[in-house]
Amino acid sequence: MTRVLVMMSGGVDSSVAAALLAEQGHDVTGVTLKLWGGESDSGCCSVADVEDARRVAAQLDLPHYVFNFTDDFTQHVVAPYVDAYANGRTPNPCIECNRTMKFGRVLERAALLGYDAVATGHHARIVATGDGPRLARGADVAKDQSYVLYMLGRSELARALLPVGELTKADVRTHASRLGLRTAAKPESMDVCFITRGGREQFLSTRTERTPGDIVATDGRVLGRHDGIESFTVGQRRGVGVALGERSYVTDINAPLATVTLGRREDLLRDRVALRDASWVNGPPASGTRVLVQCRAHGDVIAASIVDDVVLFATPQPRVSPGQAVVAYDGDVVLGGGIAV
């Protein structure tokens, strides 16, 4: 019998993950992470979410605990998020939370407490291969979350369980209804868990000094002014504050000069993207390896090849926002990825 620590966020996916593991005969303990002490109206850090997780665990007759990692979360997720926007990048805090909290601090705590594995409600699968366990897309392509778990290596995958990865979202809700779980019809959380809806600019303004600057055209003409680069991301079309008479996009953000460049869609097109902090499950792919890449959490799959941590697109693509993850796949199996420069 395997001792499993299940991260229960208070949502339906993690509730069903815990239930399925218990039904399979594992020795299951639920744990909810207290990550954010500030204002939030979404995500998995509210008092209501903790209570939902506790009550589901009680329904399933499982022990339940709360781990307080607020200081670690602020240091490893919130602070880098603020720093990224202040430097013209567009971060993905869910990836950093998975990297440093769920499959970082929780794995460490689980080992200290004698658990054999940790589990989450992510829609992704862990598959056995001749090279060891590998991460793969979930059965429900529309809900697949392998992109935000791309950094998991062999050691993490060997100690992780993803019970709902073989199910569709409809299957998950059916299981929850069958068991009468209070989370069966609970809506999904779609926003950054530590920011209120629509409150990103206000959140950033209290944590970093905003520097006004120019909005310029690709030829250098000054088109207007902005209140701070934190309001922009590469590829953005709406809310740029300047009317050009034609559809325009943010094509570049120069943090040292505090300038935001606008251009046409064709000005965004690139044939490659360089990666930093690359992480490959089975070592870097051989130069020229053909892959499929995904550049956003729910983005399209793009044919490409990899040469020395540079992704070469088969056809030009809109520029990947610096700070976003680029994840490479062999079919449905994750090879790894990195952060766009």
Catalytic positions, written as ranges: 97, 193
Q: How far apart are CA 322 and CA 341, in angstroms?
A: 5
Between CA 246 and CA 266 the distance in angstroms is 13
Closest C-alpha to 254, from 154, 301, 311, 322 = 322
Phi, psi (degrees; rounded to nearest 5) at 82: -65, -45
Residue 213's H or E segment, with its range, is strand 213-217
Q: Which of 316, 260, 326 is nearest to 291 (CA)?
A: 326
CB distance 302 to 313 below 8 Å: yes
Instruction: Report which secondary-structure segment, H or E, holds 18.
Output: helix 12-23
For the chain, what is the total number of helices (H) and then of strands (E)? Answer: 10, 17
Residues 6+ apart with CB under 8 A from 50: 10, 32, 34, 66
Angle at Cα 139 formed by Cα 179 and Cα 189, nearest 5°?
A: 65
